[in-house]
A and B are shown apart, each in its own frame.
Chain A
Amino acid sequence: MRIGAAPRAFRNRWYATRVTCCRCLSTLVLAEHEGGSIKASSLSAVEAAKFVAKHNSVSLLLAGSGPSLKQAAAHAASSHPSISQVLLAESDQFAYPLAEPWAKLVHLVQQKGSYSHIIAGSGSFGKNVLSRAAALLDVSPITDVIEISGSNLFVRPIYAGNALSTVRYTGSDPCMLTIRSTSFPLGAVSDSVSNDALIEKVDLSTLSEDDSLGKSRYISLSSQDTELPDLGNARIVVTGGRALKSAENFKMIEKLAEKLGAAVGATRAAVDAGFVPNELQVGQTGKIVAPELYMAFGVSGAIQHIAGMRDSKVIVAVNKDADAPIFQVADYGLVGDLFEIIPELLEKLPEKK
């Protein structure tokens, strides 16, 4: 029925029923795993599910093949009190997380489970997969959500985070979201976590009937080998901009990061110039970070970079130019030459505990 056509009293009753409900809310979380454990961003998606409804049963969907998948499933089952079920899709088709088989898998699982919500983290996996799955399910997804106010009201950043859009989902199930993990941090892990969730295998027999699968093949992944913490989860991030002038000089940033136990970040300009690989880029179209401490050296503060780090708790900026826009967001600024300031910091900073 068209809600707008009903008289007000009826509408109010209808909304009340919808909220107090016999309509069970249930969430499917699309999870990533690595080395036998669930990735932190996927656990943030589970955390986000709590905001959809207090009583929300969460099923975690995992796909892959081999022993690391089984390990990840075991980890998932006891990783978060909200998870009541772990669904396992085991097949060589999922050896690498390609969008085509994953979207088909989500379609399959949704048809069987009729979830009210489907959530994924808004990293490159979630962004790649969820929208394709939403098209198969004929619903509009809402991506990069930073706040959830109930089962169908969401806030998301637009214009590089310079405005926030509050969006209401008015469609049918499932309501599909990707969430920004920095906005849904995991709470303190309580020792009373407990009840292991049930692990169930997904019946994939109908999956191979789809002729769209097999048209995309994974070839390789090249990533940086580093001991430093992951940029997405680090407590401290040290970022360098183009003012570092060379990949060799950028090593100063790495040294400072090492001293602080921090992750290394970079601006688009620094990545474009070849100082560091793309996965270190912080910004509107790179990684979004919200560490406790963000230190930016030789970063001018373009709108698109700020978009990626504006939610950091404390921002420090070092730049030769006193008018650089970065100083408008920094809590503490130093106007000076980073080639003198970084060595001085390296000398004077306390060793990390």
Chain B
Amino acid sequence: MKILVAIKRVIDYAVKIRVKPDKSGVETSNVKMSMNPFCEIALEEALRLKESGRASEVVAVSIGPAQCAETLRTGLAMGADRAIHVEYPGTLYPLSVAKILRAIVDAEKPGLVILGKQAIDDDCNQTGQMIAGLLKWPQGTFASKVVLDEENKVATVDREVDGGLETLCLDLPAVITTDLRLNQPRYATLPNIMKAKSKVIKKVTPQDLNVQIRSDLEVVQVTEPPKRKAGVILSSVDELIDKLKNEAHVI
């Protein structure tokens, strides 16, 4: 079975972001970029499934400008077999990403598509659900555990939901989106980084895939959130209780 993993290049999670003074967006030039942490977890899960003999090939795909190839190269270094870069320089919303991924799924015919549940830049949490809808495949979102039964062609997925942990059983092929606790992604080892240099990254465009990018969303402005008033450091529990009662009136 082939597994397709979609990965996104985002500003590194530890970076303190800055909003551009003209409010057109967030500053991304000269800022450290990395693979989205949830995408790393998705790739790790696919690699573990391959290593345990449940999948034959892991294909990584990323959509975006030329620099996405770097992120794909990291994915190959982690252990993906090959990669596909859908080159597109402009802004892409999840619906367009889902349509592009659908075209790739139609060509590659994987048994499983794994993505991160959300990207830490736009925090949308939409793409996995949208691909599943377009493909009419079952979806297991916010997965914290995946058990694949290849004989019966089902995946049992534990999901982290508001009420606790929900377990679903999905017929394959299916779409799974990963949550934080699914696994701890590996670091690429030096030998694998060297091997990755000779792995293939195939370049295509949305036109090659017959996908028309149209947008029904427009970002009007990006602003900073309201700042909180500076707080005070108190010196005792008594003082804290007094403030909460008599100043803040919350207890």
Contact = CB atoms under 8 A, between A and B. Distances in A.
A202 interface: no
A232 B188 CA distance: 39
Interface stretch (B1-9, B66-74, B198-206, B232-240): B232-240
Interface in B207-226: 215-225
Contacts of A341: 237
B219 A167 contact: yes
A353 to B, nearest CB: 10
Interface string B165-186: 1111111001000011100000
A157 B163 contact: no
Contacts, number: 260
Contacts of A212: 136-138
Contacts of B32: none
15 contacts: A127-B141, A132-B129, A143-B124, A158-B26, A162-B224, A166-B219, A212-B136, A217-B168, A272-B180, A278-B160, A293-B248, A313-B248, A314-B248, A316-B240, A345-B237
B251 A135 contact: no
A135 B95 contact: yes
Given A135-B129, A333-B234, A164 B225 contact: yes
Contacts of B166: 218, 220-221
B167 to A, nearest CB: 4
A127 B125 contact: yes
Contact of B224 (A99, A131, A163, A284): A163
Contacts of A205: none
A160 B37 CA distance: 13
Interface string A117-133: 00000011101111111
Contacts of B144: 278
B82 interface: no
Interface of A: 98-100, 103, 123-125, 127-136, 138-144, 153, 157-172, 210-212, 215-224, 232, 236, 260, 268, 271-272, 277-279, 284-285, 287, 292-293, 303-304, 310, 313-316, 322, 327, 329-335, 341, 344-345, 348-350
B62 interface: no
A322 B233 CA distance: 9
Interface stretch (B11-19, B44-52, B104-112, B189-197): B11-19
A143 B122 CA distance: 10
Contacts of B224: 162-164
A327 B233 contact: yes
A167 B139 contact: no
B164 A221 contact: yes
B217 A268 contact: no
B133 interface: yes
A285 B179 contact: yes
Interface in B95-144: 95, 98, 117-118, 120-127, 129-134, 136-142, 144
Given A215-B137, A216-B139, A348-B241, A166 B220 contact: yes
B228 A329 contact: yes
Given A131-B130, A216-B138, A169 B216 contact: yes
Contacts of B134: 135
